[in-house]
Structure 1
Amino acid sequence: MGLAAQLRAAKAIDEVTNGRSIRAASKLHQVERTYLRRRIEGIQTREEYNKSRQKVTDVLEDRLAKWIVTQGQLGYAPPHARFRAYAQRLLVKSGSRERLGKRWVTRFLQRHHEVRTFKGWAIDYRRLNGATEATCKVLFDRLVLPKVRKIYSRNRYNADEFGMMEGMGENSLVLGEAFKKFILLKDAFKRAWISVITCISADGRALPPLIIFSGVNVQQQWFPDTEDQPYKDWYFTASSNGWTNTDIRLKWLRKVFIPHTKPANPREWRLLIIDGHNSHTTEEFMWTCLINRIYIVFLPSHSSYVWQPLDMGIFSVLKRRFRYWFRERCYGRSSEATDKTDFLWALATAWKEVMGVSRYIKQGFKASGMWPINRDRALKSPYVKKSNGAGNAPVAKPSAILQQPDFLEPIASIGLNTPKSSKDLKILEKALIKVDPAFGKATGRLLFRKVGKALDISSSELTALENHNNQLTSALEKARPKKLKKVETNPNQEFVRLKNVREVKAGLKSNLQEPSSITPQNEAQDKEEEEKEYDTDDPDCICHS
């Protein structure tokens, strides 16, 4: 029932108390006669009965639902266990000793349709906080510089790398004999990392890729003896871990990017959009770009997944098509029968389907806002962290001050403590009704409900602030720099003991002119352990005094 209906019912009950008939009061205030009679007789409504059975009040549940939405926007969506623990903590804070049931979260979701269960995708917190409105402004301010803005689309490029593992991973759910408890799978565990450096242009072209194998040198047996035509324009190299490095990036710039992107007019400048990897920020790399008329625009740190054209669907589609063709190639074979020739065949087939279609490449530039340059489209990305906008928050209007009833004398006669939650207030209400039945009027009960709601809101806000304060305190403690020092052990010891750690910590603290952390009790305990350690009957044992 809404607030207006509750006020009409309260007025109708007051009219009946003053002598008016139930029929006349219900007609005057537009309240059902049956409902009015049951309320006068003290019978609870269905809503009140269900609320009285809930361990967590509706007010606290609404606050919890809003807290879930806020945590999801901040990137800390709580799992079921953490949410249940937080609700239990809130319940204890309100003065209740009850425990939430195992199915409480399920019933909570049934009552609140504005929240539901998702499958969470983990992302590095630095990437989640990297794409902001401020960094977007810095990036697009560089793109609209006069000399950068007049660069043609055919001379705008985006380069990045992606990696894949050699081999074919299988789903953990497999088919087998029904009477067995488990089944073993043969696997060659081919998990060598292979990187691919890719470059695309804003007019829909893709440069030949550079494949980086894991190894010392590129081996001929990695390539097929026949049908190697799709790889004739590709470039291949090897590194110890299959990743790029400063030397490989510089060679790629000189041997791949500059020759394949040379404009027809030698006076035209080119634009290369890349991330801030350390292989891109060397002096030789940037000097080579300068003498070849290449402007470099570095993407903001940890934001390439939002504003890099290659990450706007191109890499994901390419990897998906690669996995499809790799399974087709290796259909009916176990992973131990696959090799790099299968990898290259599947990658070449997927490359032709994706990178050979200019529509995918142009859509990547358009979705990122890089070409045509569209700052608003970039800001509309769901991964961009929006500003708080506290300045636009509406100002709360002051509410009218109601005349305060005289509760002091009844409370003093009862001797109750200050209520901390709506449940405590309910106990206080029943006690006051016993002292003076006037407190049991509908207006008084409505007042108690409103005050109880305010108490629950304040309690939930206080708990949220305490939780936030604990998180900030923990983060601050972890962020403090800690000195590194090796724990030296006695030559007669094989392992580090706690007393060795205490000695190192005490030495660090003494350098800072702080009291030692070794208490007399700990010092006596360490001495006793040392005596036990050196106490032996072995005549060959050598101890240094």
Structure 2
Amino acid sequence: MLTVPAPSYRYLAEKYNIKKSTLWARHRKGQQSRSKAQRLRQSQRVLTISQEKEVITCIEDSAEWGFPLRYDMLRDLVSTIAKKRNPDFERLGKNWVRRFLSRYPHLRGKMSAGLDKQRKLASTRGIFEHYFDQELIRIITLFGIQPQYISNCDEKGICIGLVGREKVIVKRGEKHPFVPQDGNREMVTILETIVAQLRIASEVVIGFFEARENDDLLPGCGFATSLNGWTNKKIFRWWIEHHFDFYTRPADPSVHRLLILDGHNSHITIDALNYCRQNNIHILCLPAHTTHRLQPLDVGMFGPLQRAYGQAVEAWSRKGYSSITKAEFFKLYDYARKKAFTPENVSSAFAATGVFPLNKNVVLDKL
């Protein structure tokens, strides 16, 4: 009896337009049910479908707030979630981000604009109009945010022992009138927060000194340390939860809040953005190089604060006191802050930047 050889995988694949690998798998391993195959694919995924949806929400919110995630930031976020799901998880494959983006066509990788380009664009009227129409006004209107829940935060560097420039009376012809000053140029950073509608939030002092909480120095103030005396991501994450949220938290947790700040890299952490999303805190990042027109603290608060502190240092020096210690700095700064951060100045700062009352023409008419 003549035996007919079985057709090859290649022959059948070409004849029926089926992948050769599929034919081989079905023949050798047996046909799997659709549900079994789906469960196998699910078990091999780094994240579950619900976790991927959470990651997508974080990506979209970060981009909307002005902090689009870099590829490495996305990999760090996914790796953190994957390790919680599977303690034996080691690392993502090098092509994971590309495959992730291919599964969600509405997302794509795109090169971010450099600072030089942003500096050029910032001088155009369109940047300011987009900020008001597509960001500030849209967020306030969409979520019904009330003025008492609109805040602005920024950091201010203070040289402990320097006086400010003031007009003094001298004999005609004297070119350089000097006033005594301590001369201590040690820098202390203050992370200030103001809230619209005549309510001031709080401040955090950042410096080289030991971290502490002491109501005798600055009532309601938090203290933190960093290697360079400026804000870093760890401090900002602590501040957003234990300071900003504490002082501005509404009685009704469903109420939305808006926090306006500049786009400095020290503010950007996935953890901080996730905390804000979970607590209805919307972060609005100001366009690059526009803080001199759009940030209330820069426009109406830090100038009076600097002058008031300089006057306080000069008055201290005129009395013949010794060098200004950190304990004395807190007293002088508290005096200057109370003098500068008045309800009238806070209200004027938000009005001058078109935030409250909401009026973009206040800024646009000055361009």
- 1:302 and 2:289 matched: yes
* Cα distance, 1:219 vs structure 2: 7.8
Q: Which residue of 2 aligns with 1:418?
A: none
Q: Which amino acid aligns with 1:342?
A: E
User: Are 2:181 and 2:313, in contact at CA under 8 Å, matched by a contact in 1?
Assistant: no
User: Residues 253 and 369 (structure 1 numbering): CA distance in 2 closer, same or farther, change over 3 Å?
Assistant: same
Q: Which residue of 1 aligns with 2:170?
A: none
- 1:241 and 2:228 matched: yes
Q: Which residue of 1 aligns with 2:18?
A: none
SS of the counterpart of 1:351?
helix
TM-score by length of 2: 0.59
- 1:201 and 2:195 matched: yes
User: Residues 146 and 238 (structure 1 numbering): CA distance in 2 closer, same or farther, change over 3 Å?
Assistant: closer
SS of the counterpart of 1:231?
coil
Instruction: Write the distance in 1 (CA, Å) between the matches of 2:163 and 2:140.
Output: 48
Instruction: Write the distance in 1 (CA, Å) between the matches of 2:260 and 2:117.
Output: 23
Deviations 1:9-50 (Å, cap 9, x if unpaired)? xxxxxxxxxxxxxxxxxxxxxxxxxxxxxxxxxxxxxxxxxx
* Cα distance, 1:148 vs structure 2: 4.2
Structure number, greater radius of gyration: 1
SS of the counterpart of 2:237?
helix
User: Are 1:156 and 1:201, in contact at CA under 8 Å, matched by a contact in 2?
Assistant: yes
Let me know the Cα RMSD of the aligned residues: 3.4
* Cα distance, 1:147 vs structure 2: 5.8
Q: Which residue of 1 aligns with 2:169?
A: none
User: Are 1:154 and 1:203, in contact at CA under 8 Å, matched by a contact in 2?
Assistant: yes
User: Are 1:330 and 1:342, in contact at CA under 8 Å, matched by a contact in 2?
Assistant: no
Instruction: Write the distance in 1 (CA, Å) between the matches of 2:233 and 2:273.
Output: 12
Q: Which residue of 1 aligns with 2:157?
A: 163
SS of the counterpart of 2:267?
coil
User: Residues 147 and 200 (structure 1 numbering): CA distance in 2 closer, same or farther, change over 3 Å?
Assistant: closer
* Cα distance, 1:303 vs structure 2: 0.9
User: Are 1:192 and 1:214, in contact at CA under 8 Å, matched by a contact in 2?
Assistant: no
Q: 2:207 aligns with which of 213, 217, 223?
A: 213
TM-score by length of 1: 0.41
Q: Which residue of 1 aligns with 2:279?
A: 292
Instruction: Write the distance in 1 (CA, Å) between the matches of 2:318 and 2:260.
Output: 39
Q: Which residue of 2 aligns with 1:271?
A: 258
Q: Which residue of 2 aligns with 1:373?
A: 358
- 1:153 and 2:147 matched: yes
Structure 2, unpaired ranges of 5+: 1-115, 166-178
Instruction: Write the distance in 1 (CA, Å) between the matches of 2:307 and 2:121.
Output: 27
Structure 1, unpaired ranges of 5+: 1-123, 172-184, 385-545
Instruction: Write the distance in 1 (CA, Å) between the matches of 2:240 and 2:139.
Output: 25
* Cα distance, 1:194 vs structure 2: 0.6
User: Are 1:158 and 1:201, in contact at CA under 8 Å, matched by a contact in 2?
Assistant: yes
Q: Which residue of 1 aligns with 2:9?
A: none
Q: Which residue of 2 aligns with 1:328?
A: 315
* Cα distance, 1:186 vs structure 2: 10
Q: Which residue of 1 aligns with 2:129?
A: 137
User: Are 1:329 and 1:342, in contact at CA under 8 Å, matched by a contact in 2?
Assistant: no
Instruction: Write the distance in 2 (CA, Å) between the matches of 1:361 and 1:147.
Output: 19
User: Are 2:180 and 2:317, in contact at CA under 8 Å, matched by a contact in 1?
Assistant: no
User: Are 1:131 and 1:306, in contact at CA under 8 Å, matched by a contact in 2?
Assistant: no
How does 1:47-126 map onto structure 2 within 5 Å? none
Instruction: Write the distance in 2 (CA, Å) between the matches of 1:168 and 1:128.
Output: 35
Instruction: Write the distance in 1 (CA, Å) between the matches of 2:258 and 2:249.
Output: 12
* Cα distance, 1:305 vs structure 2: 1.2
SS of the counterpart of 1:263?
coil
User: Are 2:151 and 2:195, in contact at CA under 8 Å, matched by a contact in 1?
Assistant: yes
User: Are 1:218 and 1:238, in contact at CA under 8 Å, matched by a contact in 2?
Assistant: yes
Q: Which residue of 1 aligns with 2:344?
A: 359
Instruction: Write the distance in 1 (CA, Å) between the matches of 2:129 and 2:149.
Output: 23
SS of the counterpart of 2:240?
helix
* Cα distance, 1:187 vs structure 2: 8.6
User: Are 2:159 and 2:188, in contact at CA under 8 Å, matched by a contact in 1?
Assistant: yes
> Identity over the aligned pairs, expressed in percent?
28
User: Residues 347 and 129 (structure 1 numbering): CA distance in 2 closer, same or farther, change over 3 Å?
Assistant: farther
Q: Which amino acid aligns with 1:130?
A: A
SS of the counterpart of 1:190?
coil
- 1:250 and 2:244 matched: no
User: Residues 219 and 294 (structure 1 numbering): CA distance in 2 closer, same or farther, change over 3 Å?
Assistant: closer
Instruction: Write the distance in 2 (CA, Å) between the matches of 1:167 and 1:276.
Output: 30
* Cα distance, 1:230 vs structure 2: 5.8
SS of the counterpart of 2:314?
helix
* Cα distance, 1:354 vs structure 2: 2.4
Aligned residues: 244
Deviations 1:252-285 (Å, cap 9, x if unpaired)? 1011001111112221100111111112222111
Deviations 1:443-498 (Å, cap 9, x if unpaired)? xxxxxxxxxxxxxxxxxxxxxxxxxxxxxxxxxxxxxxxxxxxxxxxxxxxxxxxx
Instruction: Write the distance in 1 (CA, Å) between the matches of 2:164 and 2:154.
Output: 28
Instruction: Write the distance in 1 (CA, Å) between the matches of 2:328 and 2:146.
Output: 39
User: Are 2:148 and 2:197, in contact at CA under 8 Å, matched by a contact in 1?
Assistant: yes
User: Residues 318 and 234 (structure 1 numbering): CA distance in 2 closer, same or farther, change over 3 Å?
Assistant: same
Q: Which amino acid aligns with 1:272?
A: L
SS of the counterpart of 2:320?
coil
Q: Which amino acid aligns with 2:334?
A: A
Off by >6 Å, runs of 4+ in structure 1: 185-188
Deviations 1:409-453 (Å, cap 9, x if unpaired)? xxxxxxxxxxxxxxxxxxxxxxxxxxxxxxxxxxxxxxxxxxxxx
User: Are 2:263 and 2:288, in contact at CA under 8 Å, matched by a contact in 1?
Assistant: yes
Instruction: Write the distance in 2 (CA, Å) between the matches of 1:153 and 1:186.
Output: 43
User: Residues 258 and 131 (structure 1 numbering): CA distance in 2 closer, same or farther, change over 3 Å?
Assistant: farther
Q: Which residue of 2 aligns with 1:348?
A: 334
Deviations 1:295-339 (Å, cap 9, x if unpaired)? 1111001111110111122110111111111211232437x6222
User: Residues 307 and 129 (structure 1 numbering): CA distance in 2 closer, same or farther, change over 3 Å?
Assistant: same
Instruction: Write the distance in 2 (CA, Å) between the matches of 1:340 and 1:139.
Output: 40
